[in-house]
Structure 1
Amino acid sequence: MIKTGEPRSLGIPASEARLTFDTELQELGGGPRRRLLMVDDEPAFELSFYCGTCPLLFRRLETSREKLSLESMQERLTGTLDDPDDGGVIDAFGTLLPKGEYLPLLLEVEPRLVIPGREGDYFSGEQVTTWGIDQFWGLPEYPHTPYYRTFETAVDADTHLYEFVVPMVPPTWNERERVEEYAALMEQGTVPTAVAISTLDVCQPAIDRGDDYFAHWGLTHFLIDGHHKLEAAATAGRPVRLLSLLTLGESLAGTEETSRLPALRTQSRTGRQVGR
């Protein structure tokens, strides 16, 4: 944690915002309605169900094809941001977001790229330990995207916080030259800044099917700006700063949980041990 701001109102009317949250319309006889992150009125990601007992989820959908960035902020974000309000960055990116209350968090992260189903994958690791595998498919949840893991820590004896950075499009879509440029800057000591809209989802299974029953807090950062920076940092083993605009109204967490987040994010990084 570098710095946290006070909760503030940001955004424009949802009908004009490029990034919004929505709930899928219920079809007659259909299953539970999906909670969605929308980009340009197209469903980009399916998110954790509202019930709070289903597993944590961010699942990329077929219509997630767009990166979001602001050309006017590129030069400012190539350097190191020391304050969430530095250079009007928050207000500038607020023009992409739906009107609501947001908590600004400025973090320094060392991202590790994870491929679903491989070593370090949360969905086939820690999540299965708590929920077990999906009872219908007989498989773990699958996010349909590579993603970055950055931080995790204990909330208390029965609760653990997991942090993820999720690109809007896979790193394989990034321009190689730009990734290499950022990697070179990082080798020279520059710590560039990425920007994300974030959710905090609190999930705990209703039935104990796994080997270790406890609650998961998922802090998920959906990249608005910084796809090349995150890949460069993961490749070079270097830190990058992340300006997180945490939506308070669209997270599956209450005021008590979100108010604890800044302090939790300053704790030491600790993994969860099964049965603890």
Structure 2
Amino acid sequence: MAAAPIAPIVITDTDGTEFRLPTRRSARARRMLLRVDPARGGPELVLPDGVAPEVGADFARRHLGWLRVRLARLPQRIGFVDGAEIPILGVPHLIRHRPDQRGGAWRLVDPDGSAELHAAGQAEHLARRVTDFLKAEARRAIGPRARAHAEALDRRVGRITVRDTASRWGSCSARGDLSFSWRLVLAPESVLDYVVAHEAAHLVEMNHSPRFWRLVERLMPGYETERAWLKRHGGRLHAYG
């Protein structure tokens, strides 16, 4: 969607609380849109061409009750800091800062099943080291699955990339290149596998027709459970980091 940012709009609630709304124009928008994006961790106001910011501000004020409720439902952000707990393929890991060590980041699993993610170096580099580790883990988890699913469909995968996408968990290009959100590594392993199977099915069907979903079912029988998990809990994955 073509978009042009404009100055943020600030509206004030009856109790004096101010809401700062990042605002943009969209040439494709047919109506004003106020939404709360878990990936951005806040609201956004979208205005069609020709709609004045003042009109958008009035629209937002009329929907303040909705906005309060949606913002309250946003998952609490969890930074990549010492002592924080994050999931890796659905398994809780406690982040431990190890300034006395070298070597980036690594996982340790105790015999009792508890797991930790250790990160070396200075404190100011901790979040980046954890993020780099998770991206690398995502590549290791996604690549073999994508190639295996493609082979099962008698197709060949092009490039496989991992990014921090806000609107899509995965995508497939006409050339057969697959792209995925690295945040899938925070989800249960079966959910990650479902997204990979979903995109691999697009190598055959670049649509969401009944035939496409039959291909997904072939690759991952019972995928509806993982699909429902992602719809319900996917927003939480954007709250990490």
Q: Which has the larger radius of gyration?
A: 2
TM-score w.r.t. length of structure 1: 0.24
TM-score w.r.t. length of structure 2: 0.26
Larger helix proportion of the pair? 2
Point out which structure has higher relative CO (alpha carbons under 8 A, 6+ apart).
1
